[in-house]
A = this chain, B = another copy of it.
């Protein structure tokens, strides 16, 4: 079979800030041999409590940047962008395939759920958009399916402050999840890239529930899409000590490195500062 010349091109990943690094962490787990470009729009972060209109404008600019870097795949590693601006990303990506956080996690939730009661947590913008609800309902043939949604806006700053184990965080999480617990959901979609860092606490509060990490499932989709298109980077077969990631940010706050390493689980290269 003919080889595609695009194989060596990087995978482009973008997010409003550093949250998308939890997606990159999953990507390098499934696709360690690939080259990556990561763009964090840290000058305008967060997107999750802004209007769909402004998120769409920012998403277009992020996509244009990745396209200018000749990526072979665009990953919208931000649930807010995936929820309210996926069409904009696809339009700006042209022929380059785009992976959102929504579809992979929705399929996974439907596969995992036994009782057809699925919970979704995310930012205000993600939850208001009903993107997950609509996708899950579209994919499911089950008329008894029930989806329960809850915005959890404090989870992002809590994670960014590294306060995952602070006693106040459990109180806040219990408040946010109360309705889900009462509704007996058996599967909970972590519809924000910051939330996997709260997995331990969420699992403690809801021990019977299967947590769905949107970044993990998006990474599996990336593997499938690149494999089908025969665009996997296969030149480097050796053991990969450190993933090959080029970082770009629109602002470089003081504690960036610390926060980035928390999401990524390994020390990141110093990012390059750009304007969009």
**Chain A interface (Cβ within 8 Å of chain B)?**
42-44, 49-51, 53-54, 124, 128, 153-154, 156-158, 160-161, 163, 166-169, 171-172, 175, 250-255
Contacts and interface: CB of A to CB of B under 8 A. Distances in A.
* Copies of chain A in the complex: 2
A86 B53 CA distance: 31
A158 B154 contact: yes
Contacts of A42: 50
Contacts of A253: 49-51, 124
A154 to B, nearest CB: 6
Given A43-B50, A154-B161, A166-B175, 10 more contacts: A42-B50, A44-B44, A49-B160, A49-B255, A53-B251, A53-B252, A153-B157, A154-B154, A154-B157, A157-B157
B154 A124 contact: no
B153 A254 contact: no
A40 to B, nearest CB: 12
B154 A163 contact: yes
Nearest to A151: B161
**Dominant secondary structure at the A interface:** loop
A168 B174 CA distance: 11
Contacts of A167: 171
B157 A251 contact: no
12 contacts: A51-B252, A51-B253, A54-B251, A124-B253, A154-B154, A154-B158, A154-B161, A154-B163, A156-B157, A157-B157, A166-B171, A168-B172
A124 B255 contact: yes
Nearest to A250: B54
Contact of A51 (B157, B161, B166, B254): B254
Contacts of A160: 49, 153
A18 to B, nearest CB: 11
A119 to B, nearest CB: 20
A156 to B, nearest CB: 8
Considering the complex of A and B, which 6 residue pairs feature the smallest CB-CB distances, nearest first? A168-B168, A168-B171, A54-B251, A157-B157, A168-B172, A44-B44
Nearest to A54: B251
A55 to B, nearest CB: 9
Contacts of A153: 157, 160-161
Contacts of A175: 166
Contacts of A128: 254
A131 to B, nearest CB: 15
Contact of A54 (B43, B49, B168): B43
A240 B129 CA distance: 41
A47 to B, nearest CB: 10
